[in-house]
């Protein structure tokens, strides 16, 4: 609800007794101000030109408060709408209405799975680079020495888990 004159003073008219009536926020506040002003005037506490000064000051303060009150209501309504939208968004991302882990098919659950798989991929990549460095060093060693290599039979395809095949099998991503 935008701030409009209708919010502050709606359906204003005067009745037969010159009493302004309206249903806006300012109208409701001014009814109270007028009742207090009339009481103070009838008790003789506000007289003559003082009445005009006090009344003008009261109107200015009442307008300010009516505007502030209207804006406060609007702000509250906007914040409530925002919170409702956040609730919908959070549910869509987690597919959970309570404070539990998101489902694996939700946006957040898939993001978690992706992060986990990326971590595995980074580890596998690092291990692959390390194995390549070892194999390159081995190949250089064999090509430079030109000798039969009986010490590395396991690396050349033996049955131990330390064999190249065993190392590669162990490093495959899951």
Nearest to 124 by CA among 77, 169, 65, 75: 169
Looking at residue 20, what DSSP letter applies?
E
Task: Report d(CA 145, CA 62) in Å as an integer.
Answer: 99
Q: Read out DSSP for 83-152?
A: HHHHHHHHHHHH--SSSSPPPTTSHHHHHHHHHHHHHHHHHHHHHHHHHHHHHHHHHHHHHHH-S---TT
pLDDT digits (tens, 9 = 90+) for 13-64: 666 666 677 788 888 898 899 899 999 999 999 988 899 999 999 999 999 9
| Cβ density class 24-52: b for 16+ within 10 Å, e for less | bbbbebbeebbeebeeeeeeeebeeeeee
Distance in angstroms (rounded) separating the CA atoms of residues 8 and 27: 7
Cα(159)–Cα(150) distance, integer angstroms: 15
pLDDT class of 148 with cuts at 50, 70, 90: low
pLDDT score of 86 more than 60: yes
Question: Can you tell me whether residue 70 is helix, strand or coil?
Answer: helix
Has residue 141 got a pLDDT over 60?
Answer: yes
């Amino acid at each position: 609800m935008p701030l409009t004159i209708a919010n502050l003073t709606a359906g204003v008219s005067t009745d037969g007794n010159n009493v302004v009536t309206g249903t806006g926020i300012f109208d409701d506040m001014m009814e109270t101000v007028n009742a207090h002003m009339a009481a103070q005037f009838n008790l003789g506490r506000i007289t003559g030109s003082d009445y005009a000064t006090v009344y003008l000051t009261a109107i200015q303060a009442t307008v300010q408060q009516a505007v502030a009150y209207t804006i406060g209501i609007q702000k509250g309504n906007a914040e409530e709408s925002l919170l409702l939208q956040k609730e919908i968004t959070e549910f869509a991302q987690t597919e959970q209405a309570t404070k539990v882990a998101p489902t694996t098919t939700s946006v957040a659950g898939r993001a978690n799975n992706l992060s986990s798989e990326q971590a595995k991929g980074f580890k596998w990549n690092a291990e692959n680079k390390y194995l390549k460095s070892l194999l390159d060093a081995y190949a250089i060693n064999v090509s430079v020495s030109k000798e039969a290599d009986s010490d590395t039979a396991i690396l050349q395809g033996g049955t131990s888990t330390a064999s190249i095949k065993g190392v590669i099998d162990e490093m495959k991503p899951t």
